[in-house]
Structure 1
Amino acid sequence: MNQLLSNLEFGDPSRLRTVEPHWFDLYRDLHAHPELSGNETRTAALVAEELRRIGGWDVTIGVGGTGVVGVLQGSSGPVILLRADMDALPVAEDTGLSYASKTDGVMHACGHDVHVTALLATCAALSADPTSITGTVVAVFQPAEETGSGARAMVDDGIFDRFPRPDLCLGQHVGPTPAGMLVSKPDILMAASDTIRVVFHGRGGHASSPYACIDPLLMAASFALRIQSLVAHEAATPTAPVLTVGALHAGTAANIIADDAELLLSLRTFSASSREHMLESVGRIARAEADGAGAAEAPDVHAYNGFPATVNTPDATSTVMTDLRRAGLGMHTLPQPLSGSEDFGVFGTAAQCPSVFWHFGGTALRSFDERALAALAEGRIPPGTPSNHSPRFAPDPAAALPEGVTAMTAAALGALARSA
């Protein structure tokens, strides 16, 4: 156990920033009132209210829809953008928390409530010490990350024309790993992502007479199995694509063969060529299934909700990772990119500046036994651990918030100090 702890480097908890009770109350409030992508009106109003209460921030609402931007102007120096996402997911919560979601079928299942609270507490820490601000800080509270549209909406709404253009973008994400364990890497950190909708068109009828029909559900089921070979043939590559069937919809009753069957797929890729190859292959196999079934109409195949790959600028990433280690956090360099996706990189690309993103743990270390730590040491999420997007994903605010505030504050102050 001690050897595992040493290898995993969980940092020094005594050096984490103290988080005031107010922020824990705010976190519980945000968690209890989640809002779906593009509908973060209550969350945005709370964010704007808190920034004004903190003082020193010039606050603008309604950027890119429900986005909020706060600007803290210091002395001459660089512009640092700090980003948190605000939206929740269409997931029914099953955590048993006393502050569980009050909105049926909607939950902060990805920890964006942690991100918002941590960034607000960071904003308070920065404005409390104006002498440390040798530059300008732009705090961005972004809507609609889960649909991949929020960052682009803010850029399209002129965020870099209306507010200071950043010299560095910083972002972070909470995960199911132990508090004190941060991970990142230079270059590609997270995969590009596409949602793919495939609709097979058959000929419906009575279940007692399948010979008179063309069953779209059989096409969909065969297709769902067949496309797994696309990934299996590339599994030996370090950055093999990930393709998951997340939904299959067909039919209304046991004795009815439907006209249509719909599948929703999630595709993760790590290069433009891999993405193009996978999208072409999905369409080709779908058409082959329909043709083999004798369908009179070709299937509809449509990719949407695209996320670009999250790419960390190498030099800036190494420097920020050093800042986080100096702040007492356990910082790990990932050997391979993560298969999850983010739209954070849209900001750095649009501003043509370096960007750095990292992940931090949201669960107290004491919750992990030796087997779980061994899995982490191998780069795997421990079996049975509720991860992001699970109805049972529940970061421990006492563990996650001090870590998130410490990390974001240290990265911001480090960047500002180097410019001075």
Structure 2
Amino acid sequence: MSLPTALITDLDAGLPALERLYQEFHAHPELSMQEHRTAERIEAHLAALGLESQRCGGTGVVAVLRNGEGPVVAFRADTDGLPIEERTGLDYASTATGELPDGTVTPVMHGCGHDTHISAGLEIARLLTAHREAWAGTVVFLFQPGEETSAGAVAMVEDGLWDRVPAPEAVYGQHVWPGTAGTVNISRGTAMAMADSLEVTVHGRQAHGSQPEAAIDPIVLGAHIVTRLQTVVSREIGGADMAVVTVGTFHAGTKENIIPDSAVLKLNIRTFEPPVREKVLAAVRRIIEGEAAASGAPAPEISEIYRFPRCFNDEAEASAVIEALRGELGESSVNVTAPVTGSEDFGVFADSLGVPGVYWFFGGYAQETMEVGHPGGNHSPFFGPDDVLTTLRTGVRAGLTALLTRLGA
């Protein structure tokens, strides 16, 4: 399919204003579940379109656009930033700071492109409001907080989201990434991995560094755990299955001549299939507890930091979206790819209703940039689309195209 000419003409005329909107969101990021200013700005833009909105899940914003009889669909854009100090050198780079749950003050940036998602979502709302002749039905716009911590989608659903707004027949979402601007990557079936993050505290017995015989050394214990965990993927998971086990932090001790009484490790685990997920988690726990027992140490404490669901693209719905995107963007601009090992909580919305969901990626860097090597991917202090107009234009076109697969008049 191709979008109506009037929609494209209006989109192109509005690109300068859309770029300014994007720059505003980029310059003012906020941490997960703290997106107060962001939510207020979203509400103001929706109100200017004549759309009523409501808060849901804390700093989430929901709006419903009705246009006669027809299907009900939802479009989701996430809104939170990351605790990263921006190093892009952009004129509109973030200098914002935020407070982490432990009270630490940190620089904040939109290092995962959620500013792009918000801007595209608001522009889609503007265009659909202005061109009601092009479609029929109802669109539920979900501006979701807390994607980076997997807190936001669950918070919105638990806050009665689907009791407040019409339940959609399908849910769509997208994400900017370090690909070529103007292109889209999309998967059938599993689109992104499940993720589990754990905090592990191992206990020992403190002693002077010169008297190790009086201690149970949690650093040595932790080191054995880190090493042994590498065998989960290499020796317990079959080659046809995907799993990643990463120990991202290891903290222990205060002085070089003191054997401490505890050590704290934080782990991140990625899998594609639920049975593999459960097998890996069981192996991780077995190793942690077994190494503690082998060291004569007390039982370790294992707590969940967060848990991401699988992001799954319904096969039939994804095929319809792929065909429509190729009709709009061109065959060579839409790539059907394998799932990625990053994670998303987007799937919570569709899964909570048992309806199809489709999620895709759109590129943010100019072709010339990609040829010499882009400066940074998602979660990098250097991440920032350098072909902003093409990036935003593609995000809007892709979102509209997916929605109109069901809403087309």
Residue 183 of structure 1 is aligned with which of 165, 185, 190? 185
TM superposition score normalised by structure 2: 0.90
SS of alignment partner, residue 341 of structure 2: coil
Q: Does 1:389 align with 2:386?
A: no
Kept in 1, the 8 Å contact 2:196–2:270? The answer is yes
Kept in 2, the 8 Å contact 1:36–1:89? The answer is yes
SS of alignment partner, residue 102 of structure 1: coil
> 1:236: Cα distance to partner?
5.9
Deviation per CA, 1:163-222, whole angstroms, max 9, x where unpaired?
Answer: 111011000011111112211122111111111111110112322333322221122122
SS of alignment partner, residue 329 of structure 2: coil
Q: Which residue does 2:40 correspond to in 1?
A: 45
Aligned residues: 388
Query: Percent identity of the aligned residues?
Result: 43
SS of alignment partner, residue 218 of structure 1: helix
Aligned mates of 1:114, 1:197 — CA distance in 2 = 32
Q: Does 1:23 align with 2:18?
A: yes
Aligned mates of 1:156, 1:406 — CA distance in 2 = 31
Kept in 1, the 8 Å contact 2:15–2:393? The answer is no
Aligned mates of 1:251, 1:92 — CA distance in 2 = 27
Q: Which residue does 1:157 correspond to in 2?
A: 159
SS of alignment partner, residue 343 of structure 2: coil
- Superposed, 1:12-411 pairs within 5 Å as 17-18=11-12, 19-53=14-48, 55-60=49-54, 62-104=55-97, 105-233=107-235, 237-295=239-297, 297-329=298-330, 330-334=333-337, 336-369=338-371, 386-396=376-386, 397-411=388-402
Deviation per CA, 1:32-54, whole angstroms, max 9, x where unpaired?
Answer: 2111111000000000001111x
Kept in 2, the 8 Å contact 1:234–1:240? The answer is no
Aligned mates of 1:124, 1:117 — CA distance in 2 = 11
> 1:369: Cα distance to partner?
1.9
SS of alignment partner, residue 340 of structure 1: strand
> 1:56: Cα distance to partner?
3.6
Counterpart residue identity of residue 214, structure 1: I
Segments of 5+ residues of structure 2 without an aligned counterpart are: 1-7, 98-106
Q: Which residue does 1:9 correspond to in 2?
A: none
> 1:235: Cα distance to partner?
6.8
> 1:225: Cα distance to partner?
2.0
Deviation per CA, 1:96-134, whole angstroms, max 9, x where unpaired?
Answer: 222222124222111111111111111111111011230
Kept in 2, the 8 Å contact 1:239–1:337? The answer is no
Counterpart residue identity of residue 299, structure 1: P
Q: Kindly report the root-mean-square deviation, in angstroms, between the aligned alpha carbons of the 2 structures.
A: 1.8
SS of alignment partner, residue 345 of structure 2: coil
> 1:234: Cα distance to partner?
5.8
Aligned mates of 1:101, 1:385 — CA distance in 2 = 17
Segments of 5+ residues of structure 1 without an aligned counterpart are: 1-14, 373-383
Aligned mates of 2:397, 2:223 — CA distance in 1 = 48
Aligned mates of 2:157, 2:280 — CA distance in 1 = 28
Counterpart residue identity of residue 123, structure 1: A
Aligned in 2, Cα 1:205/1:278: closer, same or farther, shift over 3 Å?
Answer: same
Aligned mates of 2:108, 2:208 — CA distance in 1 = 37
> 1:150: Cα distance to partner?
0.8
Kept in 2, the 8 Å contact 1:307–1:342? The answer is yes
Counterpart residue identity of residue 311, structure 2: T
> 1:22: Cα distance to partner?
2.0
Aligned mates of 1:96, 1:229 — CA distance in 2 = 41
Kept in 2, the 8 Å contact 1:56–1:72? The answer is no
Aligned mates of 2:62, 2:180 — CA distance in 1 = 31
Aligned in 2, Cα 1:403/1:235: closer, same or farther, shift over 3 Å?
Answer: farther
> 1:67: Cα distance to partner?
0.6
SS of alignment partner, residue 27 of structure 1: helix
Aligned in 2, Cα 1:366/1:332: closer, same or farther, shift over 3 Å?
Answer: same
TM superposition score normalised by structure 1: 0.88
Aligned mates of 1:394, 1:205 — CA distance in 2 = 49
Counterpart residue identity of residue 298, structure 1: A
Aligned mates of 1:369, 1:258 — CA distance in 2 = 50
Kept in 2, the 8 Å contact 1:387–1:393? The answer is yes
Counterpart residue identity of residue 402, structure 2: A
